[in-house]
Amino acid sequence: MRVLQGEGVSRGMAWGTLKLVRRGTTPVPRYEAKVPEEELRRFHTACGEACRQLDQLAEDSQAHLGEEQAMLFVIHRMMLVDPDFMDCVESLIVGEGRNAEAAVEEAGNHFAGVFEAMEDDYMRERSADVRDIARRVIRILTGETYQPLEGPGPFILAADDLAPSETASLDRDKVAGFLTSSGSSYSHSAIFARTMGIPAVVKLHESLPADCQGQLVYLDGGTGQVWLAPDDRTAEDLQQRAEAERHRKAWLEQFRGQAVHRGDGTRLMICANIGSPEDLPAVLEERADGIGLFRSEFLFLGREDSPGEEEQFDAYRKVLSGMQGKPVVVRTLDIGADKQASHMDLPREKNPAMGLRAIRLCLARPKVFRTQLRALYRASAYGNLSIMFPMIASVDEVRRAKALCQEVQEELAAEGIPFHRDVPLGIMIETPAAAIISDLLAQEVRFFSIGTNDLTQYTLAIDRQNPACEPFSDRHHEAVLRLIRHTVESAHRAGIWAGICGELGADLSLSQFFRDIGVDELSMSPGSILEVRAQLLKDGADNQT
């Protein structure tokens, strides 16, 4: 038996047969292509798919890993569709009679070779990018994902790192856990594992022994421990732990989709935070009561231009119709500070958290804002939409935003485009100013959603992104809790609802507090919904007995 230590990134115990994933071992198929047109068609179809994958990767990376990582995939996509690369592949197919796979491999090697020959270290590194792109297209052409899992499973997949395309295509019924030697809590495989509820350990401190293939392995995705070929006693022990774990999961299941009520019998909505229509399946799977926060800025990040009205309309419509009448709160563009979009040409700011961001930026650039509002109102015909403005600090900002909404509605009406005339407008409460004057703001809007991350940062004057400040940050600081309570009270006095959409919304130690002060809605990442429901329903049951 060997015990290895890594970093646990997705909680839970898992066991199974260890399956080492090795890449690039199968040779690229080569044959003489009889019909070059057919090979060209295959190549172009594969390129289309590769572009789609890369767009998705860019978007996911933007959301989870940041601009730098996302940009890598954007560059990959550009290299792929670059006329130089395209021409090279096409001339190999047409001129030399190569099949698509062989042509892509040769073109990839050719351009990788060009970069490798350059003096500059930085440029030499780019050869890896070129090979990566070529491999992606070849994988699509051959339909290869990774070696199929032979046998009944369950399996623990082990690899250096798992590419997003690999995790997305694996057989979920057979895979019990992930084990990677590189990666981090933010790597794609980790995020994927958490989304899927599969235990995962990354960053193993030592490499797996050569003979580990096919051995029995246990892993604890919480502590990061890995047991390779455990002896019987250990295995039995681990089995018991896994069993207890499984029971808890099964126990949680009873709460899926169950309504949560407050003391007076009214509903406490448990909703989901999302960044794009791709998050919908998780929202439906977790049976969220609605979408409490659609971060529309993710449509703007990780790309080279602003999404136009049609593209935005399409995204909003998808989410609204997908939710089948359940409420969907879309937050208008919250860009600036930690979320930068290169195509918006935002000036560098000394203090971006307090800079020209969110509603300020939208009011300063009404053209962008107007496009978004038009798309939103048009989509309003397809479901239960509410629109929410971020970073509000004064009544005047709300009035200006509302006036723009009014103008957009008149425009659409004049154009004869259908839309819902009474879309509820609400605001984020994330500045102390807004919380303090929430009584005045409540006269202007139909709902509040408290963004606890920023509210905490601004109230405590602690930079969220400065790790050195972390010891001074108190997530449950009385000042923040008082502002939350005050905001909820202001809302209720004015007869409007108030929710929480920051990280505190999923904080189990505060769930009861939120219910007690009468919070109407908690919105969180889909993966947290079940735990929060369980926490509230379990407490409710305890109180009754």
Q: Hey, what are 183's tokens?
A: 């990666």
Nearby residues of 233 by Cβ (< 8 Å), 6 or more positions away: none
**Which one-letter amino acid corresponds to residue 127?**
S
Min. distance of Cβ 488 from other proteins in angstroms?
45
Binds other proteins (CB under 8 A): choice among 38, 82, 160, 516:
82
Backbone torsion region of residue 118, taken as left when φ is above 0, otherwise alpha when ψ lies between -120 and 50, otherwise beta = beta
Q: How far apart are the first and last CA of the chain?
A: 48
Sign of torsion over alpha carbons 393, 398, 400, 405: positive
**73 part of the interface to other proteins, by CB under 8 A:** no
Closest CA to 196 of 290, 285, 294, 104: 285
Query: Residue 170, SS3?
Result: coil
Contact yes or no for 60/188 (Cβ under 8 A): yes
Binds other proteins (CB under 8 A): choice among 1, 20, 51, 71:
71
Binding string, residues 297-326; x marks residues near other proteins by CB under 8 A: -------x----------------------
The one segment of 16-24, 76-84, 244-252, 306-314 that binds other proteins by CB under 8 A: 76-84
**344 part of the interface to other proteins, by CB under 8 A:** no
Specify which residues 536 forms β-bridges with.
Answer: none
Q: What pairing do the DSSP bridges indicate for beta strands 225-228 and 291-295?
A: unpaired
CA distance 291 to 524: 9
Min. distance of Cβ 127 from other proteins in angstroms?
11
Element of type H or E holding 530: helix 529-544
The one segment of 110-118, 155-163, 294-302, 356-364 that binds other proteins by CB under 8 A: 110-118
Total site size for other proteins, rule CB under 8 A: 22
**74 part of the interface to other proteins, by CB under 8 A:** yes
Is 51 assigned a catalytic role? Answer: no
Binds other proteins (CB under 8 A): choice among 56, 109, 145, 342:
342
**51 part of the interface to other proteins, by CB under 8 A:** no
Min. distance of Cβ 122 from other proteins in angstroms?
6
188, 271, 362, 405: the catalytic one is 188
CA distance 473 to 463: 9
Contact yes or no for 181/203 (Cβ under 8 A): yes
47, 88, 271, 501: the catalytic one is 501
Binds other proteins (CB under 8 A): choice among 51, 114, 395, 433:
114
Binds other proteins (CB under 8 A): choice among 73, 85, 313, 448:
85
CA distance 505 to 498: 12
Nearer to other proteins (CB atom), residue 129 or residue 407: 129
Binds other proteins (CB under 8 A): choice among 32, 211, 232, 345:
345
Contact yes or no for 108/133 (Cβ under 8 A): yes
Angstrom distances, CA of residue 455 to CA of 194, 208, 353, 444: 27, 45, 12, 20
Q: Hey, what are 55's tokens?
A: 């767009």
**115 part of the interface to other proteins, by CB under 8 A:** yes
The one segment of 48-56, 73-81, 261-269, 308-316 that binds other proteins by CB under 8 A: 73-81
The one segment of 79-87, 159-167, 251-259, 493-501 that binds other proteins by CB under 8 A: 79-87
Task: Classify residue 155 by its DSSP letter.
Answer: E
Place of tokens 């505060």: 510
**395 part of the interface to other proteins, by CB under 8 A:** no
Binding string, residues 117-136; x marks residues near other proteins by CB under 8 A: -xxx-xx--x--x-------
The one segment of 112-120, 162-170, 178-186, 320-328 that binds other proteins by CB under 8 A: 112-120
Is 47 assigned a catalytic role? Answer: no
Contact yes or no for 358/323 (Cβ under 8 A): no
> What residues act catalytically?
188, 501
Residues lying near other proteins in the complex (CB under 8 A): 71, 74-75, 78-79, 82-85, 111, 114-115, 118-120, 122-123, 126, 129, 304, 342, 345
